[in-house]
Structure 1
Amino acid sequence: MTEKYVNVTLEQSIATVEIQHPPANALSSGCIDELRKTFRNLAGEEKAKAIILTGSGRFFVAGADIKEFVHAFDHEKKSYAMAEAGQALCDEIEAMNKPVIAAINGPALGGGLEVALSCHYRIASQTAILGLPELKLGLIPSFGGTQRLTEIIGTAKALDMILSSKQLSVEEAAELCLVQTIAEPEELYQTAHTLAASWIDGKSMTSVTRALECIIQGSQETRENGLQRERQKFSELFCTEDAKEGVQAFIDKRKPEFIHG
């Protein structure tokens, strides 16, 4: 499926969403709208069990489309709507009912890094750089970066990274846990695809979805609420045919044949 800004391919139950907005894959309002539509469609696509998000060319995403900013000067409602749309995209990616891996093939700056932070896992090419340079424009990160970055690396390090507007190498990003895996440029896609396959092969998507829900939502609430959700989802799974099949297959020492595998 090819749209104006996004190309989607499906290989072995893994969907690859490639942002195609040359030269730097800037997140224009049109690009954001298309990405939101794409992820909503993939959420309901049974053939797609995991998603890889990447960029075309040399960039992952260089940031928001700066050219659109000039139309929002002195218009608080317009600028608020820009931030709201970017945050909605990132919230929808984070809340996806199937795993989303960011394959960061090049610079992920500003809104690009914020989108990557909303993915469930990040693999970066050796050529990638990561940063939130918005303060150099007299602005701040507005797609959720002030919140997700702080959740991932802590208040002091997030303050340093945002206030300094520094750009990190992949090695520096990995030390801060912004990136979980580093790959050679020519191996980036295969590394992401292999990881995605390991998450879904031989699994029931019913349990994958509930595990994602418990982990992502649980990280944003109290421990007791998270544990309550875990108990509830665990008990719900016991009423599914896939759970019965998985347990019986283990007892029979055979490979399970899940309905939603």
Structure 2
Amino acid sequence: MQFENILIQNKGRIRYIIINRESKLNALNQFTLAELHDAFAAAFEDESVGGIIITGAGKKAFAAGADIAEFEKIDIDGGRQMARNAQHNVFNFIVNSTKPVIAAINGFALGGGLELAMACHLRTAAFNAKLGLLEVTLGLIPGYGGTQRLTQLVGRGKALELIMTADMITAGQALEIGLVNSIAEPDELMPETEALLERILTRAPLAIAAAIKCVNATGDSGQNGFETEIEAFAACFGTEDFGEGVAAFIQKRKPQFKGK
């Protein structure tokens, strides 16, 4: 599959999805969002792919927000449709993936770019990265899930502060408040992100998928998270991977999971 604004790279079981609009600081226009949907759909369907790392081309930006030039002629109905399409096709699509997705934040992650990173299951960041939701400076609010996911990650008070001030924060500050999982020197960001994902990929894939589903249920008012966990826990007992995990533990060897 060929893309105009996306680069795809494979490294073992890791699929890299790279936003390739370096001259625009990897801003997320509608065409790029559509390509992101297709790129993630292909990765989720490919059995050779165990997990995904998404990052931005170059050293300046992960994704510096939406492409503001597209907003100029959008009315209320258009804004509603834009947000709904992006949520369904990209952001929620990532959140509900059964494969782990890590955002490697290699520079600016602003507005829609930070919302994209927050939709991923984990976030790593370079020491020089800057993060923020700047929408109120345009007379807008985050529209791709930012108000909800930031609150889940850092709490109501801090989320309101960051959204209402539109302040950018450093990677170190993001680590302190729980917005990112780890930080690294710029040259070490990708190796350390790969190492994190490789550790995850040694675990049972069906159990990883079940864990993602259960954690997501905590933010879904339509689900009882405890019941979701109970059912997912029970289902694990019917998998071949459970048998392999127990056998490997007893035999004091590393398990060989097959995702079955």
* TM-score (structure 1 length as normaliser): 0.93
Q: Amino acid of the residue matched to residue 65 of structure 1?
A: D
CA deviations on 1:115-172 (whole Å, 9 max, x unpaired) are: 1111111111111100111111111111111111112222221111111110101111
Equivalents in 1 of 2:26, 2:124: separation in Å? 18
**TM-aligned CA deviation for residue 255 of structure 1:** 2.9
Partner of 2:211: 211
How many angstroms does 1:219 deviate by? 4.0
In the alignment, which residue of structure 1 is the partner of 2:79?
A: 79
RMSD: 1.7
Q: Is the 8 A contact 1:32 1:85 kept in 2?
A: no
SS of equivalent to 2:103 = strand
Q: 1:159 to 1:146 in 2, by over 3 A?
A: same
Q: CA deviation at 1:38?
A: 1.3
Q: 1:96-118 CA distances to partner (integer Å, 9 max, x unpaired)?
A: 11111110000000000111111
Please, which moves more after superposition, 228-237 or 112-121?
228-237
Pair 1:53-2:17 in alignment: no
CA distance in 2: counterparts of 1:86 and 1:163, whole angstroms: 23
For the residues of structure 2 that align with 1:257 and 1:186, how far apart are their CA atoms?
Answer: 32
Q: Which residue of 2 aligns with 1:143?
A: 144
**Partner in structure 2 of residue 9 of structure 1:** 9
- SS for the counterpart of 1:60 is strand
Does residue 41 of structure 2 align to residue 40 of structure 1? yes
245-254 vs 27-36, greater mean Cα deviation: 245-254
Partner of 2:68 in structure 1? 66
- Whole-Å Cα distance in 2 between the matches of residues 86 and 191 of structure 1? 29
Partner of 1:260: 259
Matched AA of 2:115: E
Task: Report the residue type matching 1:104 in the other structure.
Answer: I
- CA distance in structure 1 between the partners assigned to 2:247 and 2:173 by the alignment: 46
Of the structure 1 ranges 17-26 and 104-113, higher mean CA displacement relative to structure 2 is found in 17-26
Q: How does 1:1-261 map to 2 (within 5 A)?
A: 2-23=2-23, 24-57=25-58, 58-72=60-74, 75-88=75-88, 89-201=90-202, 203-221=203-221, 225-260=224-259
Provide the rounded CA distance (Å) in 2 between the counterparts of 1:25 and 1:86.
16
2:256 maps to a residue whose letter is: E
Quote the Cα distance in structure 1 between the aligned partners of 2:129 and 2:227.
40
Unpaired runs of at least 5, structure 1: none
Q: TM-score normalized by structure 2?
A: 0.93
| SS class of match (1:61) | strand
Which amino acid in 2 is paired with 1:235?
A: A
Cα distance in 1, alignment partners of residues 120 and 258 from structure 2: 27
Q: Which runs of 4+ in 1 moved over 6 A?
A: none
- Contact 1:133–1:165, Cα closer than 8 Å, also in 2: yes
Q: Tell me how far 1:2 sits from its aligned partner.
A: 4.5
Q: CA deviation at 1:221?
A: 4.3
Report the residue type matching 2:36 in the other structure.
Answer: L
Counting aligned pairs with the same residue, the percent is 40
**Partner SS, residue 52 of structure 2:** strand
What residue ranges of structure 2 are gaps of 5+ in the alignment?
Answer: none
Distance 2:161 2:113 in 1: 19
The amino acid across from 2:45 in the alignment is G
